Amino acid sequence: MGGELVMLFSVEPKTTRRDLYDREVELDELRNSVLRGGDKLIAVYGIRRIGKTSLVRAFLSDLLQPYVLVDVRQIYFIDGNVNVGNLVRHILNGFREFIERGERLWESLKDALRGISWVRVGAGGIEVRLTRRSRIDLAGLFNAIDEWCWRNSTRFILVFDEAQYMRFSNVRYDGVLAWAYDNLSNITFIVTGSEVGVLRDFLRIDDPEAPLYGRYIREIYVDRFSREVSLDFLRRGFTELGINVNVGELDEVYDKLDGIVGWLTLYGYLRGGIDKLSTGRPWTRYSVMVLSW
């Protein structure tokens, strides 16, 4: 990981601050909100391909605090629903990253979870183990994490990327979040969403009947790059590849793609022939998307 060279036009979400272009304002907002404000619930909104996942991952990579990011959209598409068992399995899987972050942290986290009856803590990892009498209890898991944070004077950041998919579940997660908001002081939840309306509908922030009603949610919007920033982004990416691209072309790209960093990245990726550099990567899915603009 660490030392690997990531190009500006690489198509995976960026995962470190170093690889992320700009987004200083949004990173500051996240830092202030989580570290200084101790906010409990943060919503990151932005249309498809605008760079939400990259922003949040880059933010997390700089943290000293422990965190887990769960890709809820992936759970939905792979498992067909976001039932509590699926969600919990992915959260526990996310704990694996702690092994890389240090022995002490990992050991103390395992200790903290040993008390939960439906969790099995083994040498290799942490798993769900259900018996006929136990059932998965999300609140119990969050409580254990919260207490562990309290003992270690830290804060845990739990990210639900594309959280609007949490509505496809046997559990009312907005209720769980409201409960966590009221009862846990050491966990910050970050939810992201591509469709502002759908995420807001899921959280039902403005609905007096809804569990989260009246709770403060910090809302962060990830926006398109301006023309100037987009052109600079493209120029830098092409410089990195040693390719000369004339201004006319860059202007046209901006006019077509409208400052959406994911599309700019993809343009650079294909135009720069990166797909041909990296062997055997399937890229047809992306080329189809590009051909359709």
Ligand X SMILES: Nc1ncnc2c1ncn2[C@@H]1O[C@H](COP(=O)(O)OP(=O)(O)OP(=O)(O)O)[C@@H](O)[C@H]1O
Phi, psi for 167 (deg, rounded to 5): -75, -15
Residue 194 identity (one-letter amino acid): S
Residue span 51-80 as binding mask against Mg ion, x where in contact by CB under 5 A, dash where not: --x---------------------------
**Residue 121: beta bridge partners?**
126
Q: Which residue has the tokens 């092994």?
A: 99
Is residue 193 a contact partner of residue 163, using CB atoms and an 8 Å limit? yes
Decide whether 53 or 230 has the Cβ nearer to Mg ion.
53
Name the minimum Å distance from CB 20 to Mg ion. 13
Two tokens, residue 289: 């998307």
Two tokens, residue 174: 């907005």
From the list 20-28, 38-46, 48-56, 212-220, the region that binds Mg ion by CB under 5 A is 48-56
How far does CA 265 lie from the centroid of its chain?
19
Site for ligand X in 59-78 (CB under 6 A): none
Two tokens, residue 50: 């605008």
Name the minimum Å distance from CB 184 to Mg ion. 26
Separation between Cα atoms, residue 102 and residue 266, nearest integer Å: 35
Total interface residues for ligand X by CB under 6 A:
22
Should residue 15 be labelled a site residue for ligand X when binding is judged by CB under 6 A? no
Choosing from 66, 211, 262, 268, the residue that interacts with ligand X (CB under 6 A) is 262
Should residue 194 be labelled a site residue for ligand X when binding is judged by CB under 6 A? yes
Site residues, ligand X (CB under 6 A): 8, 10-14, 20-23, 46, 48-54, 194, 261-262, 265
